[in-house]
Structure formats: C-alpha cells, structure tokens
C-alpha cells in the first residue's frame, strides 16, 4: 500500500459535486493508494456531535467519533478518478471498530483511509473501507466498514455473510429517531447523502421515507450502552439490517455489562435494524 499524506483536511464541496456526477461503475480494481492527514479535535464540533448522538460529556472520545474526523479523507478517496464505483448508491453493510488504547487526552492525530478486500457478493461486489487513527505513541483506533456496490460482476465464489441474530437479550432503553435527525447528523458528520435528508430526496433513490445514517444508529446505541463497555482493548461490530425510517421509535436490547456481549436494535413489529456484539481482542 502506498500512502499519500495531505497537508490539510480536504475541502468537501467539490467532492460532493464529484460524487453527484459519477453514476457508473468504471472498473473492478481498487486503488492501491491510501490517504493520510494529521489533524486535531475541535472541542465545539465534538460537543455538537455528542449532542446529536446522545453521548455524555467525557474526557474520552466517543468510539465512533474518529469516523467523523476521517469523513473528508474518505470522500476524497471514494470520489477519486481511480476509484471504480460511484459513491452514491453504495450500501453500508457492517462496521467494526477496534479501540486499541483509551481515547482520552487526544491531541494531534493522524487519520488514514484506504480500501481493500474486493469480493463478489450475491448482489454485486463488496469492499472494505479501512480507517485508522494514531497519535505520537502509535495506533489508537481502527475501523472496517464493509460496503456493497450493486450490479458489479466479479469472478469467484460468493461468501455466505449471514449473521445470526442474538437471543436472550434484555431491553435496555428505547428512543425516537426524529424526522430531522438525518439533517442534524449530516451537519456534524459531513455526510449529506440525499437518502438521509428528507422524504423527497430519499424518494429519488427509491426510499419511501428518509432513513437514519447507519453510523448514527451505531453511535446512538453506544451512547446508550455507556458504562456497559470497556474503554479499551475492545472490538465493537455491527451488521446493518433493515433501515430505520424517519421518524420512528427503536428499542435497544443488550447483554448485561461485561467484557463481551451482544446487542440488537429493533423497530415496530420487532423489525431488526441492527445487530452486533462486543468483545476483547488480542
């Protein structure tokens, strides 16, 4: 993997335009270059993110916040000329976060993004978007987002990626996902995908209503789990199932607080929106 280090965080407006203009698949090979950039945490922006996602004030960064720091880099990577798939239309299937060290007292951070692991899928092709965060002492945090591009034909066997739903969980809490949460989350995340913003814009992409961002669902869930989870040496993975249509109410069920456990986010009539688990890693 070759790395290109940027002097500053990419400017988003031209990248939105680039994403809007690319509608067709242009190849079947992922780029071999990743992007890196040093950056700092803006306390006001972090506070706004905490408010939208339900996190309490803390000296420790929310486990999902590095995704926000990385968003502009991800946009530049996924809208580059050598990236083969259109960004609009990609489907976020799953997300795995690893917290290597406690995310406290963080200052100057290097964020890196790259893609890997292109695989055939029953509905097209998947790839992993890898995001990393490190400080002067070394790696702090890493994440893998599995993305699906429909309609791509790749040779090889299609892997069975079915995930068993957890059982025996206890209701922890429930909350409302309001009609405007997609717009509110977009303002703190930078992710202005039309499917999240309004019913009108979502209908242009085949959705009857706007849907919540998958990473908002995960962030809101981790905020609700709070002290259930260890602060480091933990892997938190979720699979996104049926989207959360806006507005709606969802219910979080989980295992008891422990070093390992499972979670499930459901909606009306027990429709399954997200399932996941957490555990230590070696």
Omega prior to 120 cis, within 30 of 0: no
Name the DSSP letter for residue 58: -
| 17-66 residue pLDDT tens | 999 999 899 999 999 999 999 999 999 999 999 999 999 999 999 999 99
Could you list the pLDDT tens digit for every one of the 282 residues in the chain?
799 999 999 999 999 999 999 989 999 999 999 999 999 999 999 999 999 999 999 999 999 999 999 999 999 999 999 999 999 989 999 999 999 999 987 789 999 999 999 999 999 999 999 999 999 999 999 999 999 999 898 888 787 677 788 988 999 999 999 999 999 999 999 999 999 999 999 998 888 999 999 999 999 999 999 888 998 999 999 999 999 999 999 999 999 878 899 999 999 999 999 999 999 986
The tokens for 181 are 């949460």
Write the CB contacts of 270 (distance below 8 Å, at least 6 apart in sequence). Answer: none
- How far does the chain reach from its first CA to its final CA, in angstroms? 24
Within 166-258, strands assigned E span 170-177, 234-240, 248-254
| 120-137 residue pLDDT tens | 999 999 999 999 999 999
Domains of the chain: 1-162 (3.10.129.10), 163-282 (3.10.129.10)
Are 65 and 58 in contact by the 8 Å Cβ rule? The answer is no
Give the number of other CB atoms < 10 A from CB of residue 187.
12
């Amino acid at each position: 993997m070759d790395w290109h280090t940027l002097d500053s965080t990419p400017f988003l407006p031209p990248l939105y335009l680039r994403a809007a203009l690319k509608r067709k698949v242009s190849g079947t090979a992922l780029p071999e270059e990743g992007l890196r950039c040093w950056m700092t945490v803006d306390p006001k922006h972090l506070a706004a993110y905490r408010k939208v996602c339900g996190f309490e004030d803390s000296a420790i960064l929310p486990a999902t916040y590095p995704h926000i720091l990385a968003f502009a880099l991800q946009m530049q990577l996924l809208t580059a000329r050598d990236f083969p798939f259109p960004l609009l239309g990609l489907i976020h299937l799953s997300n795995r976060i690893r917290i290597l060290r406690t995310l406290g007292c963080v200052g100057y951070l290097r964020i890196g993004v790259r893609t890997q692991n292109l695989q055939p899928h029953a509905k097209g092709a998947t790839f992993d978007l890898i995001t990393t965060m490190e400080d002067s002492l070394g790696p702090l945090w890493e994440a893998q987002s599995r993305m699906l591009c429909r309609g791509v034909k790749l040779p090889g066997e299609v892997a069975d990626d079915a995930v068993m739903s957890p059982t025996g969980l206890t209701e922890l809490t429930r909350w409302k996902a309001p009609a405007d949460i997609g717009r509110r989350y977009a303002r703190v995340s930078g992710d202005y995908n039309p499917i999240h913003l309004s019913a009108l814009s979502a209908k242009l992409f085949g959705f009857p209503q706007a849907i919540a961002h998958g990473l908002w669902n995960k962030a809101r869930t981790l905020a609700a789990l709070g002290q259930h989870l260890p602060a480091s040496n933990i892997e938190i993975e979720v699979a996104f199932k049926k989207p959360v249509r806006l507005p709606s109410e969802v219910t979080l069920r989980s295992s008891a607080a422990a070093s390992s456990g499972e979670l499930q986010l459901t909606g009306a009539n027990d429709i399954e929106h997200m399932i996941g688990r957490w555990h230590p890693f070696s």
